[in-house]
Amino acid sequence: MYSLLKSYIKSQTEINEEDLQFICSCFKPKLTSRNEIVVDFNDICDSYYFINKGCIRLFTINTEGVESSRYFAFEGMLCTALPSFIDQKPACEYLQTIEKSELLVISRADFYSLVEKLPQFGEIYKRILELGFITAQKRIYGFQGFDALEKVRWIIKHQPHFLLRVSNKMAASYLGISPSTLSRIKSKL
Amino acid sequence: MYSLLKSYIKSQTEINEEDLQFICSCFKPKLTSRNEIVVDFNDICDSYYFINKGCIRLFTINTEGVESSRYFAFEGMLCTALPSFIDQKPACEYLQTIEKSELLVISRADFYSLVEKLPQFGEIYKRILELGFITAQKRIYGFQGFDALEKVRWIIKHQPHFLLRVSNKMAASYLGISPSTLSRIKSKL
DNA sequence: GGTGAGCATTGCTCTAAGGCAACGTTTTTA
DNA sequence: TAAAAACGTTGCCTTAGAGCAATGCTCACC
């Protein structure tokens, strides 16, 4: 159950077995079903989630009822509704497992306690933030000024499994195009 | 020259005068002209910039020669081409002062040395990353699925000075609309 | 394992907004 | 300070892609 988490941590930092065990002991397993909402729109998010199996989507619904997805996380990745997690305000977005999933959950208190007490874990958190920042930027550049076809090509290049793993509707809401447009583009390659 | 930087740091963390002085001594003044390119497309970015006066734009140019702006920073803000700064790879974007500016520049080596040696500065860096991440996310949600008018309303609401400070062309390239569309929208309020 | 809800696909129509061009204005440069 | 280059604005035309609707498929749920 914890082998993927362990190898994730070891890939991020030098760490001894004892500390590694201690970190893992802070993560509790949680099984979720397809399309289960783990963090609701008005919730204050107080956990960080490691995906042992399955897939998490972060999305919101605007005033006209249209979904907008901003992030998908897969096996071996950490994920949370970060703005809410950091500032302890309502998430204003949903965190959803779009497949039957096995999550490893660490509470905010334990997470920050690890960041404080274990310098290696502080390093990991810094790295998560840096990577998140870079990913968001790449996405902004990747989508800005591109037409629908170019966006689809971009996602195929940068996340080859994405379109295979995610429903047409969700993928479209991530790319900022309509499901029918995405469907038409896919049928032409 | 350093008063704005000092008040920025004091607003972010508890710090004594000695440490504050030491931090400031790592920042060197740099004067730049309007539209000066500070970090070029192929440069590896090895400085962090604090804006004492003026304005920085981060943008790139795609294969068809179209500009896409992803971030504008104003007085009292820190800014760099972060992906390049972190990973020491070519920036693939431009960092430009769009007005005559006074920057306070810290080298990457000094920056990371401060992060290591002064816990308060480490905190500031963590906070920069967190805020950057949150800002990027808000922008993704803020623009996704919005039409041109809604985007303009969004920027007026969230950054009221933006359209007054930034040229029509640059603002359009930030909002992901054409300069003529932005011009038309502005004329109708 | 049968039924109902939601999703994917595809054709048709319509509109927001981009491209282009012309003109006036502002900024840059020599 | 005069010429040249870049930018802002506006009109006209064109088009990518959204919206809607009909059909067939898939999957969740009893």
pLDDT tens by residue, B3-53: 999 999 999 999 999 999 999 999 999 999 999 999 999 999 999 999 999
pLDDT digits (tens, 9 = 90+) for A36-90: 999 999 999 999 999 999 999 999 998 788 899 999 999 999 999 999 999 999 9
Domains of chain A, by residue range, sit at 1-128, 135-189
Closest CA to B174 of B67, B101, B97: B67
* Predicted local distance difference test score (pLDDT) of residue A100: 93
Report which of A81, A125, A148, A134 is spatially closest to residue B71, judged by C-alpha positions: A134
| Adjacent-strand bridge partners of A68 | A60
> Which residues of chain B are within 8 Å of residue A157 when distances are taken between CB atoms?
none
SS3 A183: helix
Residues B186 and B189: their CA atoms lie apart, in Å, by 5
Protein-proximal nucleotides of chain C (any atom < 7 Å from a CB): 7-12, 16-21, 27-28
Query: pLDDT by residue (tens digit) across B73-132?
Result: 999 999 999 999 999 999 999 999 999 999 999 999 999 999 999 999 999 999 999 999
Which residues have a Cβ under 8 Å from the Cβ of B189 and sit 6 or more positions away? none
The answer to whether A181 CB is within 7 Å of strand D is yes
B186 Cβ nearer than 7 Å to chain C strand: no
Q: What is the pLDDT of residue A63?
A: 79
Q: Which of residues 151-180 of B touch strand D (CB under 7 A)?
A: 167-169, 179-180
Q: Which fold has domain A1-128?
A: Jelly Rolls (2.60.120)
What's the pLDDT at B66?
A: 87
Q: Is the pLDDT of residue B161 over 90?
A: yes
CATH superfamily for B3-144 is Jelly Rolls (2.60.120.10)
